[in-house]
Structure formats: C-alpha cells, structure tokens
Amino acid sequence: MKIGPYVLPNRLMVAPMAGVTDRPFRQLCRRLGAGYAVSEMVTSRPDLWKTLKTSRRANHDGEPGPIAVQIAGTEPAMMAQAAHYNISRGAQIIDINMGCPAKKVCNKWAGSALMQDEALALSIITAVVDACAPHAVPVTLKMRTGWCQSQRNALVIARAAEAAGVQMVTVHGRTREQGYRGHAEHDTVRAVKSALRIPVVANGDICTPEQARDVLAATGADAVMIGRAAQGRPWVFRHIGHFLATGTHLAQPLVVEVRRLLLEHLEDHYSLYGSHIGVLSARKHIGWYVADLPGGDAFRQHMNQLTDCASQLRAVADFFDVLGAQTDRLPEPIVLPQSGSPAQHMEAEQ
C-alpha cells in the first residue's frame, strides 16, 4: 500500500474525526496497529489559522510519518493556500475533505456539499494538487457516495480526481443525506476501485475483523479506514491486522494494559490541551473506553463531575484497579450497527 512515495506498513487507516483524531489519539492508534492516520480537518480560512483550536489541530510534534492533514473549504485559491500552510507545519500528505456531512460544514458548501457542484469540486482538487506538486506532497480525497440517493456521483468525481493528480481516494459508503443512518454500502467503493488505478479505500461501518475482511474481499479496496469503532478501542487495529494475517482472533486486552494505555493517553492529552480544556475534552475519550464495561455508566457520571487532571487520573486508575480485581481481560465488545446521528456518537467520522 503506497501513497505517492510513502509505503505504509499495512492496510488499516484511522479516519479523520473532528474533535477525536488529535495528535495523542493518532499516535495511540499508530502504536496499536494502524498503518496510517489522518488529522482532524483544518479550516482553509487564514484568519482562523492562529486560533488555539487550529494550532492544536496542526500540531504534529513527535508524530511518526507520513503526516497527513485534512483541509476543508470552498474556494480553490484558499484551499491551495491552506495546503501550503500545512506543508510548512510538517504535513507530508494533504487530504481534501468532501465527506463531512455536518450541517455547520455543509451549510457553508464545504465538506460533502461540494459533491453537489462537480465543477467547483474539480477546481479545488486541481488547485490543491498544483499547490502541492512543487513540494512533492501527494494529495488524497475523502468523500461520500454522493449528496443524496438520486445524486450518487462518487465515481464521476473519483475519475476526475485521478485525472487531476490525486493519489488516493477514500469513499464512505453513505450519501450526505443519510448522515449516519442505515448501513454503509460498499458497491460504490467496488465501482470506484474497478475504474481507478490509484489506491481506493473503503470507509463506513467497519467495526470487526470479519467486517474488514469481507469489505476488502467484496470491493477489492486497497485498504479500510476505521473511525468510530476505534473510539475507546484503539486496539481494534491490532486485532483486525492479526485476523487479516492469520485468520484467528486475538484475546481481548488485559485490564492492566488498558489501564496503562488510557492513563498514558490522558497524560498526552493534557499536554496538548492544558489542564482545564484537557480535563473537559478527555471526558468523551474516557466515556468511550468504559462504555461497555461493568459499572461504566455510573463511573462516567462520577467522572464527569471531576474538574482537575489529578482527580481524573486517579479516578480512572481506581476504576480499572477494581475491574482488574474482578477479571483479567476486558469482556468481548458489544458490536452494534453504527447508525444514528453524529450527536449520538458525540463526534463522528467524516
């Protein structure tokens, strides 16, 4: 699996998720078996680049390469400028966001709304590719199957993107109209893969090793991209990778390992966001880790009342100490269809 000059260690990718795939989360997923991770989307508006929110999203300190940054916007020149800016901040691959279904993004005609205007979409793609070419930085594209059921034009845009110089395409198997409802379909991925020579990645409703295997087999895709299934379970990449290689399942992780991983994750999280914002924004991550565990609901309610790093760390350590006294390993995960609104999933993959 290659993206431009970069050879990836496997076919497992972390999806860009707003408010989730920050540097600490990306690094943790890479440690646990993901071969590639894409940043949260970074706005193309120059007036917002100096904000604390954007500067955190553009922070790649200590991150293993290749460093991939997703940019979002509606104006070709501004998107080209955003590509330049992020390359100067360390980006080695630029990903164009044409997949985000969030209203606040689509209302500004960014994200998946661009799929309604194929001419504008191609203008943006061409401008970004031209901006990245002098730096030998590959450009990739993430999109949905289309805007709505009657306008499923992923194949048209994918062909145009390849012709313009895009070097990888990822397709989430839902339209923007679907949001996160229903089930992802991967027939569109198969059609795109059949038509293109560049790598094609399947995204959407890939939660288990069997689902990853089946989607790869059904579509011929070069890789799978996983988002919400990694929330609170970053070791999902390790488990899927092992299954694809051997056909056998790894045991669930030891409680002591998850305790250590989460505490390390929190320390890294606090270092990026600071103590005040760090405690608040860490709550969703902790909630995902404990969601299916015995006593998880009660613990989450207690943890959400804590307002300082030390108390949060101590509470997490104590929770897993109690759990570890009851069992050595985490219980098997409860895998449910990943449909519903982004609000139901707190933050959702684009």
Active site residues: 100
Which structure tokens are listed for 149? 């059921």
What are the residue ranges of helices labelled H in 184-295? 187-195, 209-219, 236-246, 255-273, 275-290
Using CA atoms of 298, 253, 244, 215 in order, give the dihedral in degrees to the nearest 10. 0
Helices (H), the chain: 23-31, 52-57, 76-88, 103-106, 118-132, 154-164, 187-195, 209-219, 236-246, 255-273, 275-290, 296-303, 309-326
In the DSSP assignment, the letter for residue 174 is: E
Alpha carbons 46 and 29: distance in angstroms, whole number: 30
Q: Which residues pair with 37 in a beta bridge?
A: 14
- List the structure tokens of 226: 């996983």
How many H helices and E strands in the chain? 13, 10
Q: Return the SS3 of 238.
A: helix
Query: 23-31 and 255-273 helices cross at what angle (nearest 10)?
Result: 150
27 vs 268: CA distance, rounded Å: 10
Asked whether the beta carbons of 172 and 349 are under 8 A apart, the reply is: yes
Q: What are phi and psi of 296, to 5 degrees?
A: -65, -40
For the chain, what's the residue count?
350
**Residues of 291-302 as b/e, b for ≥16 C-beta within 10 angstroms?**
ebbeebeebbee
